Amino acid sequence: MRTVIGITVLLAALSVVGYTALNFYDRHFKFGRMWETPAVRPYEQPIAPLETGLVPTGGGETRLRSMDPARLVSPVALDDPQNVRLGRTVYFTYCVHCHGRHHDGNGTVGQSFTPLPGDLQSRRVQGLAPGILFNEISYGIPGGRQPPLATTMAAAERWQVIAYIKSLGTRP
């Protein structure tokens, strides 16, 4: 019983000492605590009006997602060699792990999937409209293993990957 009372008295004494030290710190040091820092008080100064056009109200990913994929048009030239080259670089950064070096769906990660990821040189994939490919790359394939990459890759990069995929043609 003495031990419990002793510990209780010790904890109470430590609390009083800590509280006193904290008050001393607040009153005597120039770098005080939170209550001394400048605060934003919206009632003291009027809020400056925003310039028009700073906050986007249209376009962007929301517009792309809500459009009919068959009607999406690439903002980059899909047959431009520069876009194909950039698309190849992006493909070998983000897509090769599943779709593989030979674009057959037999990448190092893709090998563990059943069924395998799609063959990008198949008639089905090569026959898809660029907007549908963009939609599948961006937002995934429902019921499929294609992850949504809209937050991983910029829209221009996704279009460049499509340029690269389309440049591959159908597998012989």
Could you read off the pLDDT of 125-148 as tens digits, one per residue?
Answer: 999 999 999 999 999 987 778 889
Instruction: Output the pTM of the full model.
Output: 0.66
Domain extent for 84: 61-168
Compute the average pLDDT of residues 85-105: 93
71 plus 134 within the same structural domain: yes
Say yes or no to pLDDT of 31 above 80.
Answer: no
Based on the structure, what is the number of domains in the chain? 2
Does 45 fall in a domain? no
User: Which is higher by pLDDT, 39 or 150?
Assistant: 150
CA 90, CA 32: separation in Å to the nearest integer?
Answer: 51
Say yes or no to pLDDT of 33 above 60.
Answer: no
Q: 28 pLDDT band (50/70/90 cuts)?
A: confident
CA 107, CA 138: separation in Å to the nearest integer?
Answer: 20
20 plus 94 within the same structural domain: no
